[in-house]
A and B are shown apart, each in its own frame.
Chain A
Amino acid sequence: MNIVVASGKGGTGKTMVAVNLAWALSQSQEIHLIDCDAEEPNVHLFYPGVKDEEPVTVKVPEVDSEKCTLCGACGEFCRYGAISVLTESVMFQANLCHSCGGCMLSCPVDAITEVPRRVGMITQSQPSPTLTVISGILDEGEIAAPAVIKAAKEAGEWDGVSVLDGPPGTACPVIETMEGADVCILVTESTPSGLADLRRAAHLAKAFGIPSGVVINRSDGDDGPTLAFCAEEGLPIFLTIPFDREIAAIQNRGAILCSEKEEWTEAFAKLYEDTIAIAGGKL
């Protein structure tokens, strides 16, 4: 079962919720915690230490200049401008390539083959016997976050429960993270932009047909508009975390709230129960 933690807006506390949920569950069962925010991964800040690393590669074209007739078919096909046929050579710009393979298919003389190119890595560690932490990390300057997210999900795939810490926004990286999810926890905050982006994220989850519930983080106690939106959309409020200096201080030193405050372990265990309840009890 995959539980995705998403938000729309960045900085609402997705990682805080994902890390604490995974930690609370790991007290009683085996859990995989997968950091799918490949562009800005930060789960590892809570779990420093030695990790196994695996490179993530995408396929890119390689042109055999002996066979190439400079006919231009590949460049005309490529809508991303990644491969261009110039006066005497074919220019390939890896940063524009979406690895669709179309240039290879369009070549009439089979001059193009696909070769792997590294775009990021997957790290894996086991901070406790019941907790496996997997992070998808995109290399600096690369754009293919979905490829790294897909690899992280595959590395963490198993029969048990996985908590996926999602990227912000509602674009390709989030879509890749949500694909195949059983249930979604949407983290928001007591600000107009928190609500505006919750709206987008909720609509994305709905488009996927993924049941969702909401966690209000850093609540200032004035959540009327958020509560009204959730009521209108039929989204249950799973948990409200107050805007609290002590919680912020625990976060800031890279500690896990649940491990320091027992009442929060109970709160996150209940968050899990509520979450699987809306997922139709699928386990």
Chain B
Amino acid sequence: MKVCITSKGDSPESVPENRFGRTPFFVVYNDETGEVIEAINNSSANDASGVGPKVVQMLVSKGVNVVVTGQVGGNAGKGLEIAGVPTYAFGGAKTVAEAYAAYKAGTLTRIV
């Protein structure tokens, strides 16, 4: 299973990004091994409009199963819901690695 975390940078030590669609990076973990598979550079981050649904399609095409982020907007939320991608808020996590650990510990609040 692939767990993706919105991030200001491309590594597990980066600060998690509060915005979903306009996040600079998505750090993707393999849930079985706990390793980082890739950091996706978000090419839609600076688009004028419709960013949320575009990002959802991109993540779905990459086989992402779970999203961890700060918050999601209406259009993105609708896409994540229809796509069946459970989405969690990282809360007080200071790094992407902390956010992933909190997800694994089951302490995050589900927002979609």
A residues contacting B by CB (< 8 A) are 72, 75-76, 78-82, 84-89, 91, 93, 96
Q: Which residue of A lies closest to B85 (CB)?
A: A87
Question: Judging by beta carbons under 8 Å apart, are A81 and B83 in contact?
Answer: no
List the one stretch of B33-41, B48-56, B101-109 in contact with chain A.
B48-56
B60 at the interface (CB under 8 A from A): yes
List the one stretch of B11-19, B24-32, B74-82 in contact with chain A.
B74-82
Question: Judging by beta carbons under 8 Å apart, are B75 and A81 in contact?
Answer: yes
A85 contacts which of B50, B57, B84 (Cβ < 8 Å)?
A: B57
B residues contacting A by CB (< 8 A) are 47-54, 56-57, 60-61, 75, 78-79, 82-85
Q: How many A-B residue pairs have CB under 8 A?
A: 56
Q: What is the CA–CA distance of A84 and B81 in the complex, to the nearest angstrom?
A: 13
Question: Judging by beta carbons under 8 Å apart, are B50 and A91 in contact?
Answer: no
Name A's interface SS.
loop
Q: What is the CA–CA distance of A82 and B52 in the complex, to the nearest angstrom?
A: 10
B82 contacts which of A78, A79, A86 (Cβ < 8 Å)?
A: A86
A93 contacts which of B47, B51, B53 (Cβ < 8 Å)?
A: B53
Question: Judging by beta carbons under 8 Å apart, are A96 and B57 in contact?
Answer: no
Residues on the A chain within 8 Å of B84, using CB:
86-88
Q: What is the CA–CA distance of A96 and B78 in the complex, to the nearest angstrom?
A: 13
Question: Judging by beta carbons under 8 Å apart, are B60 and A87 in contact?
Answer: yes
Question: Judging by beta carbons under 8 Å apart, are A89 and B82 in contact?
Answer: yes
Q: What is the CA–CA distance of A160 and B75 in the complex, to the nearest angstrom?
A: 46
Most chain B beta-carbon contacts within 10 A, residue among A78, A81, A88? A81
Question: Judging by beta carbons under 8 Å apart, are A93 and B60 in contact?
Answer: no
Question: Judging by beta carbons under 8 Å apart, are B56 and A84 in contact?
Answer: yes
| CB proximity of A152 to chain B, nearest CB, Å | 25
